[in-house]
Amino acid sequence: MATTILAIESSCDDTGAAVIRDGKILSNIVAGQKLHEKYGGVVPELASREHLQNIVPVVDEALNKAGVKKEELNAIAVTIGPGLIGSLMVGVSFAKAMALALDVPFITVNHMQAHVMANFIDEPVPAFPFLCLTVSGGHTQIVLVNGITDMKLVGESLDDAAGEAFDKTAKLLGLPYPGGPLIDKLAQTGNGTKFKFPEGRVEGLDFSFSGFKTSVMYFLRDHLKADADFVKKNLNDICASIQSTIVSVLLKKMIKASDQYGCQQIAIAGGVSANSGLRQVFEKAAVKYNWSLFVPKLEYCTDNAAMIAIAAHYKFIANDFASLGVEPTARLNINN
């Protein structure tokens, strides 16, 4: 008999629902929240209220698009953390209520593990062990993936995440939130070698982006003093230079991790892995260093419920179910 699972994601500002049957994604619906744009970042209180508004229509749409009735579901899965507690609470309460009402198993999924698992949605899939660079708005991690839920953090950012480095420098340029995708777009017609920014020196496999952000701030202040139109005149080249600096830092650490662990199975994940510059540079590196490179489809990079669904599919097979007494956790390590 087929196994059909509904998965829900609500850890930050995207409300997502997906249906998976026997490992195949049947639908993947995401409702973003535009209202944070004018605040220049996600406002937690507003995010949880929006999730409350979105969750019923998003789940209905996911079921309709999949052509699946509630009664056909064999399990309900949800992101349990890490994330904003009020946002997580909406998805978790909803998922628990559905599991209870339908009398089916409840599956909890770690959001950071799910980003990694996005690499298992489409063929070919990585073989264990592999190294995954997970880069999002809240995290920058190098993960040694030994198994579906056996993940070890081997490097991370000591301050800002890579996505924050994009978003905060975009804000300095006067671009709306989230700036990452806009920098990507503007960088496409810019010269990434025109301006030089420091890459930040951190030992080992860890990262630091706060010095980079400050250097962009001083760079803009100094140039704007000399020419008030500096940003306007050079926007594409500044964006391309910002992007190439961030991407270069990420690539260098992945080369180091690959050497250190003798591992040439490399995957990328998270919102920043949607960046076209990053994808190109990693594809080139894969040829040079003989990597098997795994890159999720764009819709599976940024927050989505399909990645929760694929993680839940494997948990279902392993009979890894949760009690309805489990509470969401704002801070959750990847190895939990």
Q: Are 135 and 121 in contact (CB under 8 A)?
A: no
Return the one option of ligand KG4, Zn ion, none that residue 200 interacts with (CB less than 5 to 8 A, by type). Answer: none
The continuous run of DSSP H or E covering 158 comes out as none
Residue with smaller CB distance to ligand KG4, 184 or 237: 184
- 13 lies in the site for Zn ion, by CB under 5 A: no
The distance of closest approach from Cβ of residue 98 to ligand KG4 in the complex, given in angstroms and rounded to an integer, is 23
Burial zone of 15 (CB within 10 Å; 0-12 exposed, 13-18 middle, 19+ buried): buried
The distance of closest approach from Cβ of residue 256 to ligand KG4 in the complex, given in angstroms and rounded to an integer, is 22
Residue with smaller CB distance to ligand KG4, 61 or 299: 299
Q: How many residues does the chain have?
A: 336
Return the one option of Zn ion, ligand KG4, none that residue 105 interacts with (CB less than 5 to 8 A, by type). Answer: none
Residue with smaller CB distance to ligand KG4, 136 or 149: 136
**Contacts (CB under 5 A) with Zn ion, residues 286-305:** 303
The continuous run of DSSP H or E covering 28 comes out as strand 24-31
Of these, 163, 190, 296, 328, which contacts ligand KG4 (CB under 6 A)? 163
Instruction: Give the total of residues touching ligand KG4 (CB under 6 A).
Output: 18
> Closest Cα to residue 83, out of 107, 54, 112, 58?
112
The one segment of 148-156, 180-188, 231-239, 285-293 that binds ligand KG4 by CB under 6 A:
180-188
- 138 lies in the site for ligand KG4, by CB under 6 A: yes
Residue with smaller CB distance to Zn ion, 58 or 68: 58
The one segment of 22-30, 133-141, 146-154, 240-248 that binds Zn ion by CB under 5 A:
133-141
Residues with Cβ within 8 Å of 232's Cβ and at least 6 positions away in sequence, in order, are none
208 phi and psi angles, rounded to 5 deg: -145, 130
**Contacts (CB under 6 A) with ligand KG4, residues 184-243:** 184
**Which amino acid does the sequence have at 330?**
A
Of these, 192, 271, 296, 328, which contacts ligand KG4 (CB under 6 A)? 271
The distance of closest approach from Cβ of residue 138 to ligand KG4 in the complex, given in angstroms and rounded to an integer, is 4
Cα(69)–Cα(328) distance, rounded to whole angstroms?
27
189 phi and psi angles, rounded to 5 deg: -110, 25
DSSP state of 207: B
> Closest Cα to residue 269, out of 222, 239, 306, 324?
306
Binding site for Zn ion (CB under 5 A): 136, 303
